[in-house]
Amino acid sequence: MNKSTELILEYAKELAKQNVAGSGDCISVKSGAEMFASDKDVRLEDLTENDVLKIKLSDAEGEYALHARIYAAKKDVSAVCHCHPAWVAPIARCGATIPAVTDDMTQIVGRNCKTCKNTAKAIVRNLKKRNSTLVSSDGCVTTGRTLNEAYTCVLVLDKAAHCFVASAALKKNVLINFFEAILMNVIYKMKYSKKNQENLQSEEGNS
């Protein structure tokens, strides 16, 4: 079994374990002119080696064409997660934006996460300067320099969505200041995550 397939299986299991997996999920990693992706018709918790597909980026269709377009638009990205966490899904359905409600969201995702139309063009456009987006009626798409980073974004988004919904119900939303949110995100990317992601890229063997 190659390294990319091992990574897909490892993080599919982790996403299911963290209860952020749903129907129609698809995760992928880029390897040169190809990508390895989970079969979107198989739930992540049921994924096997035979359900990990090897696809040429130039030949990708449907869900996999979306991943290919993201890789083409974001040269530093080596992994994509399209998932449907329980707390994210209803926010995506109603087209809302998750604001900066937690420190880890601010650091890892940014000052907010917007919902875009459910088209490849809109998703790619929303990801141009971000690593995550909600998709109207279709969960969230996260990207990363490594699969670990894209996976972490899914966890953070689900947590932030939970906090946002709960605090909104209590009418006690406390948002992080706009400029502080931007500063925290920049510092995290430049200082705290850079070395860690370089080490993970080496371990994951991403091209």
Amino acid 170: pLDDT: 37
Separation of alpha carbons 197 and 199, rounded Å:
5
Q: Is 66 left (phi over 0), alpha (psi -120 to 50) or beta?
A: alpha
Is 52 inside any structural domain? yes
| Residue 167, pLDDT score | 58
Q: What is the mean pLDDT of residues 88-105?
A: 86
CA distance 133 to 127: 7
Structural domain for 86, as ranges: 3-201
- Mean pLDDT along residues 180-195: 43
Nearest to 28 by CA among 45, 52, 47: 52
Give the pLDDT mean for 12-25: 95
**Cα separation of 79 and 198, whole Å?**
14
134 phi/psi in degrees, rounded to 5:
-85, 150
Cα torsion at 178, 183, 189, 192 (round to 10°)?
A: -120
- Total domain count, the chain: 1
Q: Is residue 35 part of a domain?
A: yes
The Cα 178–Cα 176 span in angstroms is: 6
Is 207 contained in some domain?
Answer: no
Smallest CA-to-CA distance from 74 within 129, 149, 153 is with 129
Residue 181 lies in a domain: yes
Distance CA 194, CA 89 (A): 30
Query: Is 172 inside any structural domain?
Result: yes
- Domain holding 93: CATH number? 3.40.225.10
Classify residue 124: in a domain, yes or no.
yes
Residue 191 covered by a domain: yes
User: pLDDT confidence of 191, banded at 50, 70, 90?
Assistant: very low
Q: Is residue 206 part of a domain?
A: no
What pLDDT, in 10s, does the model give residues 43-93?
Answer: 999 999 999 999 999 999 999 999 999 999 999 999 999 999 998 988 898
Average pLDDT on 90-115 reads 86
